[in-house]
Structure 1
Amino acid sequence: MKLRPLFILLAALTLSATVRSAPGTLIPRPQEATRLDGQFVFTTGIPVVYASGLEPLAEYIADYIPLQRLDDRTWTAGAALRLSLDGTMDDESYRLTVTPQGVQVVGADYGGVFNGLQTLLQLLPPEVYTGQATLPLAVDACRIEDAPRFHYRGMMLDVVRTWMDADRVKRHIDLLSHLKINKLHLLLSNDEGWRLEIKSHPELTEIGAWRGGDSPVMPVYGKWDEKYGGFYTQDEMRDLIRYAAVRNVEIIPELDLPGHSRNFARVHPEILCDYTPDLRPTAGYDYRSVWCASREENYRLL
């Protein structure tokens, strides 16, 4: 019984010096996190120094921590946030080291450095996520190493049933990337809409991107009497892909054909089987061919 206080004291001292699993505030939990003595303070004049190929990440982090950007070929010495690569490390792994003299993020590749920067942001005050943080900013000294357990860390976003414009998708990408999610499965066509501009078939978006009101596409989800929807131009989609790539997110598009092609058939009824089609809106259900004006009645039928 007398040894119990000694065990508690030793455990406390050990945890204060080295933490093999990350503090609970870090998401996801890194493989190893070690607390060091002191702090580093970001102040005016401290640069983010980047290696070749990492300039987009220097620009990215400067939106959260107001630092000047400097190519490592022109940097000599001094306190800095340094971004560098080590090809001997595992894919997307990183090592974050914070000392009173500076901060260094070493990654196996672009994705690894990005993941290290996300961990750094989590160690700073939450105001950095608003993009309006001001200097000075202090971060406790530590050494953190991590590698993703899964190569594919994904989320599916359905902008067909619930339309989101490009700016809202960018916000979604931001939130995913803060959690080191690296794949965005983007659903662009389904029974309820067609969301991507196809220049050789403009009718797919001119008609198929809208439902409700005077559209031939059935308003299955919300906005019952109002024409509702939208689509991404090819330039908007290219911009989304570039935006996501900077944040280590790959967009995986899905055009769902031949399955879930009711929307496509409303635009091109000639694709239907060789019989006299009943093109009255049915919401895809055979038991009734009249779409009720009452939202409550529609819910009852569905």
Structure 2
Amino acid sequence: MIQFTKIKYALSLFIVILAVFKSTNSLADGKVQIIPQPTSLSYGKGELVLNQKVCIQAPAELQSELELLQSLLQKGLSRGPKQVSKNGDIQLMLDANRLSTLGEEGYKLLVEEEGIKITAATSAGIFYGIQSIRQLLPITFEYGKQYQSVKIPCLEIIDRPRFPWRALMLDESRHFKGKEVVKDLLDQMAMLKMNTFHWHLTDDQGWRIEIKKYPKLTQIGSERKDTQISRNSELRTGEPHSGFYKQDEIKEILEYAKRLHIKVVPEIEMPGHATAAIAAYPWVGAMETPQEVAVTFGKFDDSFQIADPKVVQFLKDILDEVIVLFPGAVIHIGGDEVNFKPWEHSAKVLDFMKKKELASPVDLQIYFTNEISNYLDHKGKRMMGWNDIMGSDIHDERGEDAAAVKQKLAKSTIVHFWKGDLNLINQAVEEGYDVVNSNHWDTYLDYTYERIPLSKSYAFDPVPEGLNEQYKSHILGAGAQMWSEWIPTVAQMQKQIFPRLAAYAEVGWTPAESKDFTRFKQNLEQIKRRWEFLGIQFYEEQ
């Protein structure tokens, strides 16, 4: 899907084939290289010879996984394997009794001289077993080289993820990338067994999702006149930037993600980062003044006028369309970096706070956030938000004289930690909240490799050191964030994401005690060759 010229593709293909030619028929040292590293891997004796006569056995419930495996094997063997009802060379098997040992996403992969068996409690587990098979095959298998047969060492893998939440976030508000780029990212996430795509679709610099009840959100809010080039700079690109997804396009992407067993979590920012929406509908802003879609980046003056029932209903109307569109259980409402000044100077807000006995703007935000949380609960969804929504002064803005926060965040909320003292994670889980850890010092992909080198990405542990064992189940996992303020092109974005995405994949999947950075770097060389075949840019640390 990634666009490049035929000449560049042919040259890239030739170079990579030369680089890996000696190891394409079988594994040179007999050791498999899989990212993320499996929970348990043991070797048997001998090799399986996989040839063009291979056939696959699978139940009807695994039709999607069967077709995936057929397509994979057809790429290197020139013909698609036939499906048989029994005695298949490759057997895909569902066993609900394995749920207690393998969980929702685990699998057992057994390679013997007679064939391959993948067993799992769910189709997701089967899918991840197939992803491991992909990495057992020669690197050139999927990319144009044809084989009469390939050899795979006999082995047994028993595997399941450490965390249920293994996410990549893409910010498309700041720089729109488009559905083909999104699909490419989903492909790479799937190979690395990542299961959550967090999609940041609205912010000050652009509204990227069609809302049919409020068409101006995309007619006006999806385009800005110019773009700031770098931090603290007056320089601009001198060109407009625009783009948004029609609901049919979102459905297409969601269907694509579903086949890859990836959940998509949309982020619709509220009550801050609202400039693009206010530009479209000025009456929803607290300052009651017209705004333009922001052309610079940072924290902006206006916020939604959440003391006005019509504005709250506006936001609920938007969420109604999002709820119908996205089948997943979670909707992210942002909630970070809210500017309280327009509320503090609004007679309407101050009157509302007095009536509701809200002591501070922070309490007002939590009150509003809980209203949205309850609304989503009643719709069968669960709210998620950045950890600003808990009310802590994570930006050190309020001073010693600020009123104590009295409102308490709804317990059903998933807290997305990104900033502040790590003790805030302990506090959240001890109070019963589920947490996704995306500490910006460890997971922000827009940060340079000097600030977050590959080794630091790999060393990240979503569970804070010393956390009591009884609370660890509340740490759902981790997210890696691709904020795009200063990342306008796809090539720049790829170099920020890759190869660190592979490190975060292993952080989310592999038991902490099984991680080994030296081994990971060796295994990463195989993945890099795959990226080269696909034309994916990646950063090489010196």
Verify same fold: TM over 0.5.
yes
Q: Counting helix residues as a fraction of each chain, which structure ranks higher?
A: 2
**1:49 aligns to 2:61 (yes or no):** no
Partner of 2:140: 127
Q: Structure 1 residues 25, 52: closer, same or farther in 2, change over 3 A?
A: same
Partner of 1:83: 92
Structure 1 SS opposite 2:197 = strand
Q: Tell me, in whole angstroms, the C-alpha distance in 1 between the residues paired with 2:140 and 2:272.
A: 45
**1:146 aligns to 2:159 (yes or no):** yes
- TM-score by length of structure 2 reads 0.44
| Counterpart contact for 2:39–2:160, Cα < 8 Å | yes
Following superposition of structure 1 onto structure 2, how do residues 173-188 of structure 1 map, counting pairs within 5 Å? 173-188=186-201
Q: 2:38 aligns with which of 27, 30, 41?
A: 30
Relative to structure 2, which stretch is displaced further, 90-99 or 35-44? 35-44
RMSD across aligned positions (CA):
2.5
Q: Tell me, in whole angstroms, the C-alpha distance in 2 between the residues paired with 1:282 and 1:114.
A: 42
Q: Structure 1 residues 37, 189: closer, same or farther in 2, change over 3 A?
A: same
Shift in Å at residue 208 of structure 1? 1.5
Q: Tell me, in whole angstroms, the C-alpha distance in 2 between the residues paired with 1:50 and 1:161.
A: 44
Partner of 1:292: none
| Counterpart contact for 2:278–2:290, Cα < 8 Å | no
Partner of 1:291: none
Q: Structure 1 residues 221, 87: closer, same or farther in 2, change over 3 A?
A: farther
**1:249 aligns to 2:274 (yes or no):** no
Q: Structure 1 residues 39, 220: closer, same or farther in 2, change over 3 A?
A: same
Deviation string for 1:8-30 (max 9, x for gaps)? xxxxxxxxxxxxxxx67221221
Shift in Å at residue 196 of structure 1? 1.1
Unpaired segments of 5 or more residues in structure 2?
1-30, 75-79, 231-235, 302-485, 487-542
Q: Structure 1 residues 28, 275: closer, same or farther in 2, change over 3 A?
A: closer
Q: 2:278 aligns with which of 261, 265, 275?
A: 265
Q: Structure 1 residues 84, 76: closer, same or farther in 2, change over 3 A?
A: closer
Partner of 2:81: 68
Q: Structure 1 residues 200, 26: closer, same or farther in 2, change over 3 A?
A: same
Shift in Å at residue 212 of structure 1? 2.3
**1:155 aligns to 2:155 (yes or no):** no
Shift in Å at residue 69 of structure 1? 4.5
Aligned residue pairs, count: 255
Q: Counting strand residues as a fraction of each chain, which structure ranks higher?
A: 1
Structure 2 SS opposite 1:64 = helix
| Counterpart contact for 1:58–1:69, Cα < 8 Å | no
1:75 partner letter: S
Q: Tell me, in whole angstroms, the C-alpha distance in 1 between the residues paired with 2:112 and 2:122.
A: 23
Q: Percent same amino acid at aligned positions?
A: 29
| Counterpart contact for 1:192–1:220, Cα < 8 Å | no
Following superposition of structure 1 onto structure 2, how do residues 209-220 of structure 1 map, counting pairs within 5 Å? 209-212=222-225, 219-220=227-228
Q: Tell me, in whole angstroms, the C-alpha distance in 2 between the residues paired with 1:280 and 1:124.
A: 49
Structure 1 SS opposite 2:151 = strand
